[in-house]
Structure 1
Amino acid sequence: MSSTLLEVTRASHEEVERLERIIVKDLQNEPPSNKDRLYQSHRVRNMIEQITSTNKKLIEIYEDKDSARKDEIAALGGQTATGTNVFSAFYDRLKEIREYHRRHPAARVVDANDEYEQLLKEEPQIEFSGEEAVGRYLDLHELYNDYINSKFGEQIEYSAYLDVFSQPERISRKLKLTRQYQEYLQKLLEYLIYFFERTEPLQDLGRIFSKVITEFEEQWTNGMVEGWEHESQENGNIPAEHYAIDLDYYSTVEELMEVGPERLKEAVPFNSVQRGFFLQRIHLLRSWTENILPKALAGPQQNGNAVTLQPSADAKEIALIEAKVKRLCDLLQETIIRTKENVEKKQALTYEEMEAEREEEEVQAESESDDEEQQIYNPLKLPMGWDGKPIPYWLYKLHGLGQEFKCEICGNHSYWGRRAYERHFKEWRHQHGMRCLGIPNTKNFNEITSIEEAKHLWERIQERQGLNKWRPDLEEEYEDKEGNIYNKKTYTDLQRQGLI
């Protein structure tokens, strides 16, 4: 019965509206754990993709390039080749409906809400390695091995690598133009994109990279890209240094030809001995082409103390990849810090302790229930922590959360723990109570919680400042014959002058 184009249009609009309501309903629920947050984000992402796909189909229907929608509307109005016959079209459609129900007597209306409600309980399949711990940590061990075994890297610990992998400006520019660095950088970018898409599916990565490219193009034009200041200046003078080409990295002539004659020309050393070894290594790779070798033998053109070099063709591409990597590292800064803390914690544990911790995490993950109304075992009535579970008892005792402080100025409100009690003197509740008493909330009234004590202290402060001292010359009143009121000083002055 839903084979007609208009029925398909109506059903598509209904599906979009239902999905929108399900998204709103899902986002109103606060996920209790990181795993539930990921499931929620991926569910919403999948529903958004369904809405986008359905809207594209609706656009095609409304554009009506084949005039199918127009013909169906005309048919519903009874317009045929012989003329207009509304009753004939109506009875033909009624006959079709009756025939359908005769063939399907058990047909019933299915509540689509039941199907859509199941989407709220869906657990999308998200792949994470054991080191990533469901998106809590990064797994950069493979890239770390590539880094320490490369010409551009250095021998450092994995925890130190987590600090420097997001800082490509630390690497010398002449080492960045090697193919080994380009492959490493591309692999790093692909992993960060893959991790970001799994942990932040609701983020629009295309829009983020579009902004990065726009800012990069402007900085590249102005020569302000960090680490590539001279590279973006056409025909600029670059200090006398050579871009290193590691011949050990190339096994065939075809691979070395991809470097190009200009890069080989720049890499030829000035020193005659070094230059001889360089060319000898090229000959060891087999015979060389006639076009590239003479250009390499020509050597770089010197001009005084500086060497004039043309910007490398792929330098801009490398710099752009670095900009994308740095942007992703900024977005994943909290994850990077969390990963480093986890690595440092593991370094202080024995193998048995790490195994015990891993088993405990697995048991805890299996015991997590999706039922929001599940009762949490809390016989000591401890306060809830950030994860929705009672805080440890030792932390409860450490902060003195079992000690109650009452403040009469705050309406006999209770504060648990010394820290909360001291902090409440600057909070809105206590400030409002002091304002109602007509007393300024200054440091003099810290630790004062009684209304009577606060009033008594305020009176003493006023007496000390002389605000309540009786001053007859200013406060004693006199009245003349016309009923004008003066203070004593003014009345005496006017009387002496004979004006009264």
Structure 2
Amino acid sequence: MSSTLLEVTRASHEEVERLERLIVKDLQSEPPSARDRLYQSHRVRNMIEQITETTNKLVEIYEDKDNARKDEIAALGGQTATGTNVFSAFYDRLKEIREYHRRHPAARVVDTYDEFEQLLKEEPQIEFSGEEAFGRYLDLHELYNDYLNSKFGERIEYTAYLDVFTQPHKIPRKLKFMRQYRGYLQKLLEYLVYCFERTEPLQDLDRIFSKVTSEFEEQWTSGNVEGWESEGQENGHAPHEYNVIDLDKYSTVEDLIGDVEVGPEKLKKALAALGLKTGGTVKQRAERLFLTKHTPLDKLDRKHFAKGQHGSEQNGVVPTPLSGEDAKEIALMEAKVTKLCDLLDETIVRTKENVVKKQALTYEEMEAEREEEEVQAESESDDEDQQIYNPLKLPMGWDGKPIPYWLYKLHGLGQEFKCEICGNYSYWGRRAYERHFKEWRHQHGMRCLGIPNTKNFNEITSIEEAKQLWERIQEKQGLNKWRPDLEEEYEDQEGNIYNKKTYTDLQRQGLI
């Protein structure tokens, strides 16, 4: 019955309102533990996403680009191509409703309250590795290995790396012009974003990054970005760290050669810093270096580079000056990494403490733990080899041994309950008997009888009793009761429709 567009609109508004109430109800309860608090945040996040999705659908309906809503409202008002006929539209709609209930005699109003209440009890699936310990720590071992195996990294301990990765601005700028560094920075940013979204699902990361970007643009324009001050790379040419000779002082190659301070060795160092060939005469070296004054390195012909430098550059080994836009992109990623490290500062501190705690274990303590595990494993294997003595045939517990007899009596596991609807299946204990009304076996039996498995049929295990109760419910709802005085229709000579009672009264009064 919810196929009409107006009914879909009403149901969507109702869903949004229910979700809003559930969010308020969930946030009013204080979670007892950090894990429950995280579950609560993810539940609220999921409900917010559902509200957003449903609201977007409502916006599309109200925009009514295909005029479907407008046509439906007009049809309800009886507007047709031949004119307006309100009564015809009303009876057509009434006929449609009756036809629906004739095809679905067991139709009933579905209470979605219980379904929505289940959202407050669910535990969202959140992926955490063992090292992360449910979001308490960071797992940076893979990034730590990338850092050690790179040209820009240092040979440091993992605990020291936990301080280094939060300060990308301290890495020398000449080492940032590597493809390898860009790849490392992208992986670091992706991991921090992934970690932040799992541990802080209610935070608006897009808004945080938008603020970071706007502040970065202002600092970049003024040349005040930390680690990227304005004396660095300009206009996409080589940065001054690479160039030991200031080419702006010379207008021609002859001026460069004629400078007393510039000799063969200084030219060679300048070319080597740029990855260019260092051989040839002084004039050839000067001409090769002078090309970089007006041409970025990535635009130069490959023949000017030293052998093997171009291939190494593609692999990210040799520092290669980037364009201004590339440098800006790297600097922006560093700003985002720094911001996320500030937001995850508490988690980073806990990670350092956890690593130090693990390293503090002595060799003797580690050996003691290993021996204890071996003894426990041997005892478990010995217990499995022994034959289990169970003369009372008690049920087995979680440890593979018979449960205590007092527990057996407490839960009434010696009491048998049979259910005819489940095919005379036996349930032992009151708890299992009450639980089986919601399980698949009982639901299948009720479905075969054509009876909905609602709370009204709890504690009913007889097929005959279930059928009698279903008939009483149908009579109470008025689904099978025929009322000729109200539902039998008569038509007079003018085409007016009346029910039997009204038609008889009018005929008795001589009005028809």
User: 1:233 deviation in Å?
Assistant: 7.6
Residue 366 (structure 2) pairs with residue 351 (structure 1): yes
User: 1:355 deviation in Å?
Assistant: 7.9
**1 CA distance for matches of 2:368 and 2:200?**
32
Does the residue aligned with 1:128 lie in a helix, a strand or coil? Answer: coil
Which residue does 2:301 correspond to in 1? 292
CA contact (8 A) 1:231 1:311 kept: no
Of residues 335-344 and 312-321 in structure 1, the stretch that sits farther from structure 2 once superposed is 312-321
Q: 1:291 to 1:181 in 2, by over 3 A?
A: closer
Q: Which amino acid letter does the alignment assign opposite residue 33 of structure 2?
A: S
**2 CA distance for matches of 1:23 and 1:203?**
15
Q: Deviations over 1:304-360 (max 9, x none)?
A: xxxxx99644111110000000000000000000110111111112436778999xx
Q: Write out aligned runs for 1:91-490 (5 A).
A: 91-230=91-230, 234=234, 240-242=240-242, 270-272=266-268, 275=271, 278-279=275-276, 292-293=301-302, 312-349=324-361, 350-351=365-366
Q: Deviations over 1:261-306 (max 9, x none)?
A: xxxxxxxx95527857955699xxxxxx995236659xxxxxxxxx
Number of paired residues? 319
User: 1:150 deviation in Å?
Assistant: 1.4
Which residue does 1:381 correspond to in 2? none
Q: Deviations over 1:410-432 (max 9, x none)?
A: xxxxxxxxxxxxxxxxxxxxxxx
Q: Which amino acid letter does the alignment assign opposite residue 178 of structure 2?
A: T
Q: 1:276 to 1:53 in 2, by over 3 A?
A: closer
Q: Deviations over 1:204-240 (max 9, x none)?
A: 1111000000000000000100010025784699985
Q: 1:310 to 1:58 in 2, by over 3 A?
A: closer
Q: 1:70 to 1:25 in 2, by over 3 A?
A: same
Q: 1:290 to 1:56 in 2, by over 3 A?
A: closer
TM-score by length of 2: 0.57
Q: 1:343 to 1:281 in 2, by over 3 A?
A: farther
CA contact (8 A) 2:268 2:278 kept: no
Does the residue aligned with 1:151 lie in a helix, a strand or coil? Answer: coil
**2 CA distance for matches of 1:229 and 1:130?**
41
CA contact (8 A) 1:223 1:232 kept: no
Residue 19 (structure 2) pairs with residue 4 (structure 1): no
Q: 1:40 to 1:109 in 2, by over 3 A?
A: same
TM-score by length of 1: 0.59
User: 1:180 deviation in Å?
Assistant: 0.9
CA contact (8 A) 2:277 2:304 kept: no
Consecutive unaligned residues of structure 2, counting only runs of 5 or more, are 245-264, 280-297, 307-320, 374-397, 399-512
Q: Deviations over 1:237-261 (max 9, x none)?
A: 99852189xxxxxxxxxxxxxxxxx
Q: Write out aligned runs for 1:12-161 (5 A).
A: 12-161=12-161
Does the residue aligned with 2:189 lie in a helix, a strand or coil? Answer: helix
User: 1:84 deviation in Å?
Assistant: 1.1
Does the residue aligned with 2:84 lie in a helix, a strand or coil? Answer: coil
**2 CA distance for matches of 1:193 and 1:357?**
40
Consecutive unaligned residues of structure 1, counting only runs of 5 or more, are 245-268, 283-288, 298-308, 359-365, 367-500
**2 CA distance for matches of 1:77 and 1:151?**
76
CA contact (8 A) 2:38 2:199 kept: yes
Does the residue aligned with 1:314 lie in a helix, a strand or coil? Answer: helix
Q: 1:88 to 1:140 in 2, by over 3 A?
A: same
**1 CA distance for matches of 2:166 and 2:177?**
18
**1 CA distance for matches of 2:131 and 2:10?**
48
Q: Which amino acid letter does the alignment assign opposite residue 38 of structure 1?
A: L
**2 CA distance for matches of 1:14 and 1:325?**
41
Which residue does 1:469 correspond to in 2? none
CA contact (8 A) 1:212 1:323 kept: yes
**2 CA distance for matches of 1:121 and 1:332?**
28
Q: Deviations over 1:163-187 (max 9, x none)?
A: 1111012210000111111111111
**1 CA distance for matches of 2:144 and 2:242?**
27
Q: Deviations over 1:133-187 (max 9, x none)?
A: 0100000001111112211111111111111111012210000111111111111
User: 1:85 deviation in Å?
Assistant: 1.1
**2 CA distance for matches of 1:62 and 1:291?**
58
Does the residue aligned with 1:202 lie in a helix, a strand or coil? Answer: coil
Does the residue aligned with 1:221 lie in a helix, a strand or coil? Answer: helix
Q: 1:323 to 1:276 in 2, by over 3 A?
A: closer
Q: Which amino acid letter does the alignment assign opposite residue 366 of structure 2?
A: Y
**2 CA distance for matches of 1:354 and 1:271?**
63
